[in-house]
Chain A
Amino acid sequence: MQRKGSPFTGLASVAMKEAADHMTSPRMHLVMLLILLTALGSIYGALGEIKSTVSEDPFIFLRLLTTAKQPLPSFVTFLGFLLPLIGIALAFDGINGEYSRRTMSRILSQPIYRDALLAGKFLGGLLVIGICLVTLWLLITGMGILMLGLPPSGEEILRGLTFLLVSLAYAGVWLAISLFFSTVFKSPATAALAGLTLWMVFTLFWGMIAPLAASGIAPADPFNQMSIIHQAEVGQAIARISPNTLFNEATIAILNPQTRSLGLVFAYQMERAVMGMPLPFGQSALLIWPELSGLLAAMVVVYTAAYVTFQRQEIRA
């Protein structure tokens, strides 16, 4: 079964069409409105908090994203919560929707491969999320310039862009998960529910499940220091299965330049350390690279699972 021509023929047109559909759909408008409102609320709160508490900070534009004002959480926390929702919303009926509208065979009668259809749907969704994130970031930076009267520094822009990349990878993981569910389940509602369930598990319950599982796998002996450390390490490893944990760790390290380490730190490692000094951007990037590569790899692997499922489906049914 040697295929003829590039599997990517028509990929661009499918992706652009998909993106255009998303951009005009009321579903996307609603989700964007939600995100915009939370962004405005949390940034406005952060601005007030910064004006009243921070006297001098070289990374004030990063503080805009991470500062929380009660009762609202910070913008980054909101994104960690809402980005999966966009990913799920954009792709839960990606494949099964085409079946239920009976448009799948019509599309595939065009001279494009199935590969291009799935990749196009995925890239189209990713493109839309990317546009949203860039717009949001520009909006926030503009608000910051207006309200604070300062331009962002080069390093702040670099860190902001890295943060966008991390967010995009995180949203991509959820987009891929949602796309996978839409190929597995015939009904869009089931796919959406499955996505939402997984989202709930990872955002809300994973923080409880991880230590519980760790104490089961590596029981800690209170008289043995090493076993306690081992349990903490196992717990952290399990917690890092959740894309949420990866996203949170990566944003903390990139948006708080003072962060030196994301894992366990022993007292001797902090001896004579100059606390509170920001790491250079390169070192922060090196710190989050495992998290970022984990997110990217997870995105690719889940997409591959969706791809394999989709390729093995009978589409004329």
Chain B
Amino acid sequence: MVRFHRMTLAATAAGVLLAGANSSFADNMKPQGLWLTTDYPAITESIGQEATLSINLANSEEPPQRVEFSVRDLPSGWTWELQGSGKPISAAYAMPDDTAHLQLKVTPPKDIKPGQYNFTLQGNTENGTMLTLPIEMTMAEGKPASLSLEAKLPALRGTPKSSFDYDLTIKNESENDTTLNLLANAPDGFQTTFKEQYGNQELASLPLKAGESKTVKLSVKPPADVAAGDYKVAVAAANADMNAKTGLLLQLTGQPNLALSTKDGRLSGQAEAGKEQVFDYTVSNSGSAPAQDIKLSASAPSGWKVEMDPKTIDQLAPGSDQQVAVHMTPTDKAIAGDYMVTVNARGDGLSDSSNFRVTVTTSTLWGIAGLGIIGSALMVLALAVTRYGRR
């Protein structure tokens, strides 16, 4: 009543919003009684599907009442079930000023003919009141199951080391939820993996709701030693009823690969401090394209002289190799022991390096000096003996 007054005052003061005042008035005067309603009393379903209708049991300003449900005039072969909070029920309480939400599941037989079918949901209260809800259901032919599979970028280009990731959009155009198997048919040695679009989980099958579309990623990894050329990968998404296919293309270009090693495979050697020593290296190209403009260099301890012969290789055909002589001269102040020298080969984006351990030996010159010291001491002794030796 307070609200009504306020609204009336507001309406009179403004002199407008008469309709608003009216609706407030009607809201206050809402109907009394029990109702059984549904959102869509006349619906169309496709054949083969079960229909679910949401039912509301409304009570307005009536005492609580128990309502028993039944379905009348259901065509033969049809079954029904009423559910409340997910459980099968046959009766419900209508509480005052409250609405109970129920679900009616109706399952028509599979071989039904298209057409209109009527039935009535009936609710009986304890005091003999009968609530009825007539429902018209039209059964129609379902759309044929269909699926689409599309690659955003169906042809990719790269070297055998690059990764080929194809984004595939799969759309379920049928009216049923389904689970699809994902298949890829690649040339021998190519590895294929289906993954989530943004994730690392590998997929074997993909659940899709009716009308939903999802994007998955197909990674193709070519074998490292594959020749340059075009390779085809066939992709399919399928279940028992339907399937969709598409073709993908990989364009592989060749790639050079540098490998640096010593002639006999040993990665250690000896060198005397201050003296040049030559170690034989081999640069080979184990890739599938020629390597251009290879530069050879070495990182050595400071004071060392390391020279390459030759310093650069203009071109190295795939599968061929080139001898390189590495001239190392440890500094003459080098302390005996093991040192690391890193030999590098670099050429347009490629590089290989190998650590070479050089055992530096020192000159035996100082050894002779030590002998000289002992010798001169002995000379002094000999002189003393000749000078002071007595008869």
Q: Which residues of A does B touch, CB under 8 Å? A: 1, 3-4, 7, 113-115, 260-261, 265, 268-274, 277, 279-280, 282-283, 286-287, 289-290, 292-294, 296-298, 300-301, 303-304, 307-308, 311-312
Inter-chain contact A1/B370, CB cutoff 8 Å = no
Bound CA–CA A286/B272 (angstroms) = 13
**With an 8 A cutoff between CB atoms, is B371 at the interface?**
yes
Asked if A286 meets B366 with Cβ closer than 8 Å, knowing A115-B389, A300-B381, A301-B377, the reply is: yes
Seen from chain B, the residues whose Cβ lies within 8 Å of a Cβ on chain A are 299-303, 333-341, 357, 359, 361-362, 364, 366-367, 369-371, 373-374, 376-378, 380-381, 384-385, 388-391
Interchain CB contact under 8 A, A287 and B336: yes
B167 nearest CB across to chain A (Å) = 49
Q: Please name all residues of chain A whose beta carbon is closer than 8 Å to the beta carbon of B384 when the two chains form the complex.
A: 304, 307-308, 311
Question: What is the distance, in angstroms, from A115's C-beta to the closest C-beta of chain B?
Answer: 6
- Count of A-B contacts judged by CB separation below 8 Å: 107
Whether B388 and A311, one on each chain, are in contact in the complex, defined by CB atoms closer than 8 angstroms, is yes
Bound together, the chains give a CA A12 to CA B361 distance in angstroms of 41
Sample 10 A-B pairs with CB under 8 A, ordered by A number.
A261-B336, A269-B335, A282-B361, A286-B336, A286-B367, A289-B366, A290-B369, A300-B377, A301-B377, A311-B389
Tell me the bound Cα distance from A297 to B378 in angstroms: 8
Give bound CA distance, A113 to B369, whole Å.
33
In the complex, residue of chain B having the shortest beta-carbon distance to the beta carbon of A7:
B389
Please classify the interface of chain B as helix (H, G, I), strand (E, B), loop, or mixed, using the class held by over half of its residues.
mixed
B224 smallest CB distance to A (angstroms): 33
Interface of A is mostly: helix
Chain A residues with Cβ under 8 A from B337's Cβ? 260, 273-274, 277, 279, 283
Q: Check if A301 sits within 8 Å of B302, measured CB to CB.
A: no
How distant is A119 from chain B, measured CB to nearest CB, in Å? 10
A3–B388 CA distance with the chains assembled, in angstroms: 11
Give B368's nearest chain A residue, CB to CB. Answer: A289
B361 touches which of A274, A283, A300 (Cβ 8 Å) = A283
Q: Which of B340, B385, B388 is within 8 Å of A312, CB to CB? A: B388
Contacts of B364 in A (CB 8 A): 286
User: With A280-B359, A289-B367, A290-B370 given, is the CB distance from A3 to B377 under 8 Å?
Assistant: no
Q: Which residues of B contact A269 (CB under 8 A)?
A: 301, 333-335
Q: For the complex, what is the distance from the CA of A286 to the CA of B303, rounded to whole Å?
A: 22
B371 A293 Cβ-Cβ under 8 A: yes
Report Cα–Cα, A301/B379, bound state, in Å: 10
